[in-house]
Amino acid sequence: MASTTLSQSLSSPSIITPTTFSHRTSLFSKPRSLSLSSPSRTLPPLIVSASSDASLSTSPDATPIEKRFPAFPTIMDINQIRDILPHRFPFLLVDRVVEYNPGVSVVGIKNVTINDNFFPGHFPERPIMPGVLMVEAMAQVGGLVMLQPEVGGSRDNFFFAGIDKVRFRKPVIAGDTLVMRMTLIKLQKRFGIAKMEGKAYVGGELVCEGEFLMAMGSESTQ
């Protein structure tokens, strides 16, 4: 009876999935050559498309993946960033500004590459961006808001005055693009103190967030 059922099923035009096939072979007391563990019966690996739209990935007229995603816009390039921030190699951690609302917020990106100088030590077998450097990169993006005339700042140094409620949600690894939004919450111009909210993303997923207290001006500020 089992062999008859299997013969009828195999002659059917319906598609047999690996799950169905495994279920039907279990009708035999001994799997023998039909066992999925046999090297001669190994199923081919599944190829998963990066696109969620199956028709787009299979259509001959589909846009190639290398042309499908637009580049980040450039509001400030690296030369303009260097004109504002005092940081230099190996501690300049902002590559581009992609959005700028004067006196309100700024969005900057850091392209995380295996050539970054911290990866040989953190860690050689698993290149993860240190959390403290993620916080530093976000602070530098915030500095681009603080040091602008719209906020009453000047192109001078700025320093950490405090960090609160920092949370790291996911690791950032070589090959990621860290997108950081810093929003000015409160500014005390008299004392040159700014409170900012920061959030960092990779591929639209939150990886780090926190509140930053930063001070402008005097080098005696720690």
- Report, as residue numbers or ranges, the catalytic residues: 122
Rounded-to-integer distance, Cα 15 and Cα 118, Å: 51
CB-CB contact of 137 with 213 (8 Å): no
Q: In what order do the strands lie in the sheet with 105-111?
A: 96-101, 105-111, 177-188, 193-202, 205-216, 158-168
CB-CB contact of 16 with 30 (8 Å): no
What tokens appear for 91 in the block?
A: 């501690």
CB-CB contact of 192 with 216 (8 Å): yes
